[in-house]
Amino acid sequence: MAHPSERPGSRILRLLAALELWLVACGVAVSIAFPSVLPFAVLIGVLFWLVRWRSLGRISLRTPVDGSILVLGAMLGISTLLNTHTPETIPQVSRLLTGFILFYAVVNRAQHRSDIRWLTVGLVVLAFLLSIYALLGLSLTIDRVADLLPAMLKPFVTGMVEAVNPNVLAGNLAILFPIPVAVLLYWKGRHVRATRLFAVVSWLSVTALLIFTESRGAWLASLIAFAALVWMRWKWGWVSVMVGMLIVGVALISLDFTQVIGQTTSQGMLAGFENRFGIWQRALLIGKAFAFSGIGIGNFGRVADSLYPFFLVHPGSVTHTHNLYLQVLVDLGVPGLAAWLSLLFLVLFMSWKLYRRGKRTADDLLHGIGAGFFCSQLALIVHGLIDSISWTVARPAPIVWAIWGVMVSAYILGEKSKV
């Protein structure tokens, strides 16, 4: 039997496989504005897996997180088959699948240092573009957009504007925020001077947008990530962090702590800690009742209204748990939550290990990527305590999978360099 590389047309298939990341990324980007495109984005990814298998003899490179993703995918299938569907189910399931596909598209593309570098720069560019997109979307109404555009462009741009949610975008920007900061602080040399300059622009634009959105959860996540970056970057950085914590502590003592928590969790109709706590209580009850399989993605609002009705809001008003960990629990059950947490903490461990290796070997690339992505995961963990925008409920959710893909690829590269 001929080797896969010797099969007829294998060269064309390898060239096609090289385009996977670009086409998958474009499909995901379009799906953020138009969720109806999500099934097609999934189909594109599956077709490229077949192309890779046909041309290279494998579906994907192996990674340390394959087991976690496999269990997560299995629980997605089980919960989807065992539970009824709502109009939100198919888009949200497709969104998680596009996350898987985007992750492996990055992993199979990033096999050299240059790939890791330009993909990291790509995330810096993404942070900048997302902040500009959010600024335009928040400052323009649908009617104003429609009046300014030719007829053929109206559906596309109005779809993009409709996709803008201040808290969702602020949460994703908080997760991206440490990456341009790490590029600025860690990467050195004339060859990265332009990159560091653009990192400053990206950092400032993201910071301005975070302030503009007034998303307290994103503020908290960004501040903790920034404090961690300062701590990790300089020998005496911990002094600055301790002084900052002291100032914050004095401020909290001077103010009513419960009032501060209420302000931190205020989100329109769901304003206040009491309402959030009520949602979390119901999510825990649902998670306990459906511990094995969960209730299926997109079903939280319907199940909560049926089994544990809300008293302070109208039925149908609450569609997700406003907590990342509880959302995964109610959607996919305890096994799904365990798989997702193992994935998260594996990435956190790998980023820390990469940071330490880069520091020990004076490798600015790995040092900066390790620090930036470690702090990005800290922002994800903190923000996940008060919102669930990194899961399937929000359109930009696949961004987290892109970050994980770059991080895992950098870790694999670092492990190979030891040999």
Total residues belonging to the chain: 419
* Cα angle 176, 393, 276; round to 5: 90
Under 8 Å between Cβ of 171 and 383: yes
pLDDT at 142: 44
Under 8 Å between Cβ of 287 and 326: yes
Reference 203, options 233, 169, 180; nearest CA is: 180
pLDDT tens per residue across span 4-41: 445 556 677 777 777 888 889 998 888 887 888 888 88
Quote the CA–CA distance of 77 and 74 in Å, as a whole number.
5
Quote the CA–CA distance of 414 and 368 in Å, as a whole number.
13
Determine the residue type at 247: I
Quote the CA–CA distance of 278 and 281 in Å, as a whole number.
5
Under 8 Å between Cβ of 192 and 225: no
pLDDT tens per residue across span 230-258: 888 876 655 565 655 555 555 545 555 55
pLDDT at 357: 92
Under 8 Å between Cβ of 369 and 403: no
Quote the CA–CA distance of 410 and 407 in Å, as a whole number.
5
Quote the CA–CA distance of 376 and 368 in Å, as a whole number.
12
- Torsion of Cα atoms, 375 then 378 then 382 then 387, to 10°: 90
Under 8 Å between Cβ of 183 and 120: yes
With tokens 């790998």, the residue in question is 350
Calculate the average pLDDT of the chain.
Answer: 82
pLDDT at 141: 46
Low-confidence spans in the chain with pLDDT less than 50: 1-2, 4-5, 140-145, 252, 265-270, 419
Quote the CA–CA distance of 100 and 401 in Å, as a whole number.
7
> pTM of the prediction?
0.86
Reference 176, options 214, 216, 129, 213; nearest CA is: 129
Show the tokens assigned to 306.
């049926």
pLDDT at 244: 59
pLDDT at 330: 95
Domain boundaries, the chain: 4-418
Percent pLDDT > 70 in the chain is 80
Quote the CA–CA distance of 286 and 302 in Å, as a whole number.
12
Residue 268: is it exposed, middle or buried by C-beta count within 10 angstroms (0-12/13-18/19+)?
Answer: exposed
Residue 84 CA to chain centroid, in angstroms? Answer: 27
Quote the CA–CA distance of 293 and 289 in Å, as a whole number.
10
pLDDT tens per residue across span 282-332: 999 999 999 998 998 988 988 988 888 887 677 777 888 889 999 999 999
Quote the CA–CA distance of 383 and 329 in Å, as a whole number.
17
Under 8 Å between Cβ of 259 and 281: no
Helix/strand/coil for 314: coil
